[in-house]
Amino acid sequence: MFDQTGSPVRMIGTAQDITERKLLEMEIQMREERYRRLVENSLEAIAIIQDRKFIFINGVGLEMFGVSDMDEIIGQDYLDFLAPSHHEESKIRLAAILSEQPIDPVEFQWRKKNGEVFHAELLGTYIGDNAIKISLRDITERKKTDELLLRSEKLNAVGQLAAGVAHEIRNPLTSLKGFTQMLHAMSKGKEKRYFEIMNAELDRIKMILSEMLVLAKPQSTHFRKSHIKLILHEVITLLSALANMRSVDIQTAFDDNEVAMVLCDENQLKQVFINIIKNAIEAMHSGGILRVHVKTQGNQLCIEFIDQGEGIPEDRIPKVGEPFYTTKEKGTGLGLMVSRKIITAHHGDMEISSKKGHGTTVRVILPVES
Ligand code: ADP
Ligand code: MG
């Protein structure tokens, strides 16, 4: 209450015990802190998405997406980080989660800020207010081992199959060949020519069989020190007729002082180079140039086959070299697999890089024999 001059003279007030409320507030704060720490220190990436945009993400999440600052991800559309092939499915799942239907975890391919791809298992739960909590677990490593296992499993199966078939065919082939030669010796005139053709065809079957046997363990190999340059020249001469027919020009660039020797089985390496060059020629539907480069890098020899063919779409590159993967009507899908196996047995490495429409480069690396 104030007097005429406006100064306070009396005052009325009430006092209220708010201890309980304060305690409650403190507890809520503590609980929030505990949850915050739980989320922050979680080994999984945890994020909250509202209207398709990130509104929260924890440290593991930042690391997973390869960003250093929250601001780089908050407010962004989650689709920007998801591989395009999963967009449709993710939208359907999102709608399901928003309508609170139970939903199982799913494996998606994601993209880091720098474009690098990783696999993560995703689980989303609705937390109200149009927001969804998602947790992500990086499974790239697990995927890699799974794929490797599958690959070696397939390889083994193919190897065993090939070995079995090849052995089964070899024995009857020997008698066919023997009797054909006998008949050839007994025949005359036109007949003689027929038996010659039969003999040549049987030789071809034998050759294919030995190719299939390369797939099977154990292999009989004859390792010798050889000049890669000579082997390559022989192969290129062998294939020059085919290249000509397809208007492909094979250009070689070998280091002049290239005298490096490689401990190898010549026939097997020839088979590898034939496979690679044939693939390159077959990829250049309207002709072009195939460059073959040989360089030494320290104690390694690098042989590059650079073509101007149709190239391989990015997502197909891992498939190339898997047994029976072929895009050709008459392909076997075994060429590169056999090649890779041979190169591995030579303690070398084979890499394929390609861009759809811009050609393919196959790089074979072999240790140099000093
Ligand atoms: P095949 O030649 O019988 O198909 P390969 O194992 O040699 O089997 O090759 C597998 C597949 O890899 C081919 O069908 C093709 O799609 C792809 N490929 C291989 N080399 C090349 C290349 N130089 N350019 C484009 N695609 C290639
Ligand atoms: Mg091939």
Strands (E), the chain: 45-50, 53-57, 106-111, 117-128, 131-138, 224-227, 248-254, 261-264, 288-297, 300-306, 349-355, 359-367
Question: Quick one: which ligand is closest to 327's CA?
Answer: 1
Q: Please enumerate, as own/partner, the contacts of 339-344 that have beta carbons within 8 Å and a separation of 24 or more.
A: 339/271, 339/272, 339/275, 339/276, 341/155, 341/214, 341/215, 342/214, 342/265, 342/268, 342/269, 342/271, 342/272, 343/272
Out of 240-249, 291-300, 324-333, which region has the weakest mean confidence (pLDDT)?
Answer: 324-333
| pLDDT at residue 349, as a whole number | 95
Q: Is 367 in the pocket of ligand 1 (CB under 6 A)?
A: no
Could you tell me the pLDDT band of residue 182, with boundaries at 50, 70 and 90? very high
Could you report the per-residue pLDDT of 198-213, keeping only the tens digit for each? 998 898 788 777 766 6
Determine the Cα–Cα distance for residues 208 and 215; give it in Å rounded to an integer: 12
Q: Is 159 in the pocket of ligand 1 (CB under 6 A)?
A: no
Q: Which amino acid is at 183?
A: L
Helices then strands (H, E): number in the chain? 8, 12
Give the residue-averaged pLDDT of 73-101: 92
- Spatial CB neighbours of 258, under 8 Å, sequence gap ≥ 6: 228, 229, 294, 296
The answer on pLDDT for 218 being more than 60 is no
| pLDDT at residue 332, as a whole number | 76
Determine the Cα–Cα distance for residues 115 and 72; give it in Å rounded to an integer: 15
| pLDDT at residue 110, as a whole number | 93
Pull the structure tokens for residue 182.
Answer: 């006998």
Q: Are 277 and 305 in contact (CB under 8 A)?
A: yes
CB-facing half-sphere around the CA of 186: CA atoms within 13 A: 6
Out of 78-82, 341-345, 352-356, which region has the weakest mean confidence (pLDDT)?
Answer: 341-345
Q: Which amino acid is at 40?
A: E
Determine the Cα–Cα distance for residues 197 and 183; give it in Å rounded to an integer: 12
| pLDDT at residue 216, as a whole number | 58
Could you tell me the pLDDT band of residue 291, with boundaries at 50, 70 and 90? very high
The answer on pLDDT for 286 being more than 90 is yes
Rounded (10°) CA dihedral 183, 185, 188, 192: 70
Q: Which residue has the tokens 């811009």?
A: 358
The answer on pLDDT for 262 being more than 80 is yes
Computed over its alpha carbons, how large is the radius of gyration of the chain?
A: 34
Q: Which amino acid is at 360?
A: T
Q: Are 360 and 283 in contact (CB under 8 A)?
A: yes
Q: Is 281 in the pocket of ligand 1 (CB under 6 A)?
A: no
Q: Which residues pair with 112 in a beta bridge?
A: none
Q: Are 178 and 163 in contact (CB under 8 A)?
A: no
The more confident residue out of 335 and 49 is: 49
Give the residue-averaged pLDDT of 30-38: 87
Give the residue-averaged pLDDT of 266-273: 87
Pull the structure tokens for residue 224.
Answer: 């010798």
Could you tell me the pLDDT band of residue 359, with boundaries at 50, 70 and 90? very high
* Most informative mutation of 320, 330, 343, 352 for ligand 1 (most atoms within 8 A of CB): 320
Write the burial class of residue 269 (CB in 10 Å: 0-12 exposed, 13-18 middle, 19+ buried).
Answer: buried
Question: Quick one: which ligand is closest to 321's CA?
Answer: 1
| pLDDT at residue 256, as a whole number | 64
The DSSP code for 2 is B
| pLDDT at residue 24, as a whole number | 93
Could you tell me the pLDDT band of residue 87, with boundaries at 50, 70 and 90? very high
Could you tell me the pLDDT band of residue 258, with boundaries at 50, 70 and 90? low
Could you report the per-residue pLDDT of 94-144, keeping only the tens digit for each? 999 999 888 888 999 999 989 898 999 999 999 888 899 999 998 888 887
Give the residue-averaged pLDDT of 291-316: 93
Pull the structure tokens for residue 280.
Answer: 């390159």
C-alpha 261 to ligand 2 mean position (Å): 27
The answer on pLDDT for 350 being more than 90 is yes
Q: Name the residue with the closest Cα to ligand 1, atom 13.
A: 326
The three-class DSSP label of residue 289 is: strand
Please state which CATH class domain 224-367 belongs to: alpha beta
| pLDDT at residue 271, as a whole number | 83
Q: 39-138 with 143-216: one CATH topology?
A: no
Nearest residue to 64 via CA among 134, 126, 130: 134
Could you tell me the pLDDT band of residue 155, with boundaries at 50, 70 and 90? low
CATH 1.10.287.130 fits domain 143-216: yes
CB-facing half-sphere around the CA of 33: CA atoms within 13 A: 6
| pLDDT at residue 85, as a whole number | 93
Out of 28-42, 80-94, 214-228, which region has the weakest mean confidence (pLDDT)?
Answer: 214-228
Pairing of strands 359-367, 349-355: antiparallel
Question: Which residue ranges make up each domain of the chain?
Answer: 39-138, 143-216, 224-367
Report the chain's mean pLDDT, rounded to a whole number. Answer: 88
CATH no. of 39-138 = 3.30.450.20
| pLDDT at residue 257, as a whole number | 62
Q: Are 59 and 71 in contact (CB under 8 A)?
A: no
Ligand 1 atom nearest 331 alpha carbon: 3
Q: Is 308 in the pocket of ligand 1 (CB under 6 A)?
A: no
- C-beta neighbour count of 136 within 10 angstroms: 24
